[in-house]
Amino acid sequence: MKFIAAATLALLAVPAAAADFTQPVMSESGIPYIECSKADVADAGKCLSYGDLTLGHMIANALNAPAAGLKPEEIVGRGLLALKVRDAKDAELDDKERDLVKAALFAAVEKLSYKPVAVVQVLKVIDPAALKR
């Protein structure tokens, strides 16, 4: 019985298959969402060029969004995870990282005006089981 329990726990801790976080996030009409890729240093509200919003950038933006009450180690963890996935073509997330990304994304719907259809695209990559009802 102990062996079965240990094997089950080991399977639960295995990271998901590596994901390509450079994939663009698509709108409902099949067109990639865009983000500012180069801001004007003289006017922070002005964008000089735009690029496709990728899964990694969407996650990094959500992790970097202000969140009240974070402890220093949580801030560091969020920052390191944002750097890990931002431009990753082949990265794996463990259970703790997936949970953190999901919580940040759900909060970003309100904070960053992320659309649910965009959040679902990230979930399909990092945690497909979360989409099953």
Do the Cβ atoms of 21 and 93 come closer than 8 Å? no
Query: How many CB atoms are located within 10 Å of the residue 29 CB?
Result: 5
pLDDT digits 0-9 by tens, 115-133 = 999 999 999 999 999 898 7
Phi, psi of 83 (to 5 degrees): -65, -35
Q: Return the half-sphere exposure (C-beta side, CA atoms, 13 A cut-off) of residue 113.
A: 2
Q: What angle do CA 75, 26, 50 make, to 5 degrees?
A: 70
The answer, as to whether pTM is greater than 0.75, is yes
Per residue in 77-119, pLDDT (tens digit) is 999 999 999 999 999 999 999 999 999 999 999 999 999 999 9
Domain boundaries, the chain: 2-131
Contact 49, 41 (CB under 8 A): no
